[in-house]
Amino acid sequence: MSVLSLAGETDPVRRDIIAAINRLLAGTPRRSRGLNISQLAAEADVKRWRLTHQHTDLKDRFQAEIAHAETQQAAIIRSADDYEDLKRKHTELNRHCRDLERRLEIYAVALNQLALQNAGLADRDADADAAKVRALPRRRQLNP
């Protein structure tokens, strides 16, 4: 993957610098280790002052590409961190849901037992009330 194109460049020094930029940004350097102007100069096999004074456009473009790559890397790291946070929260929510389901089962059993007890007490009270209540004889109505 090349960031800068060599097409249209006739100056061999510029071509070397562009090729070095592309190698550094692709992660395949031949002579250097870091992503800074000094390492770019070493990779292109040119003096540093040539980059900073003669080819400032290439220097600026290289620094802009590095800043862009660092921004993307930071976004990827944030995204990975967010993903890990979401996975952790998902696990916690699943655990919480299992706890709530267990409680719901316990409450359902307790409510069922209370409903059965209530029905038994209501039947007993109805039988007791029936034994206490006596029907009175009807009065005869007189016809006038």
Whole-model pTM: value is 0.51
For residues 15 and 9, the answer to whether their CB atoms sit within 8 Å is: yes
Q: What is the pLDDT along the chain (144 residues), one digit of tens a residue?
A: 457 777 777 788 888 888 888 888 888 888 877 788 888 888 888 888 888 888 888 889 888 988 888 888 888 888 888 899 999 999 999 999 999 999 999 999 999 999 998 888 777 766 666 656 566 677 776 665
To which residue do tokens 């249209």 refer? 8
What is the rounded CA–CA span in Å between residue 70 and residue 68? 5
Residue of 71, 66, 32, 38 lying closest to 52 (CA atoms): 38
- Within the chain, residue ranges assigned H as helices are 12-26, 37-44, 48-49, 56-132
Return the domain boundaries, the chain.
Answer: 12-132
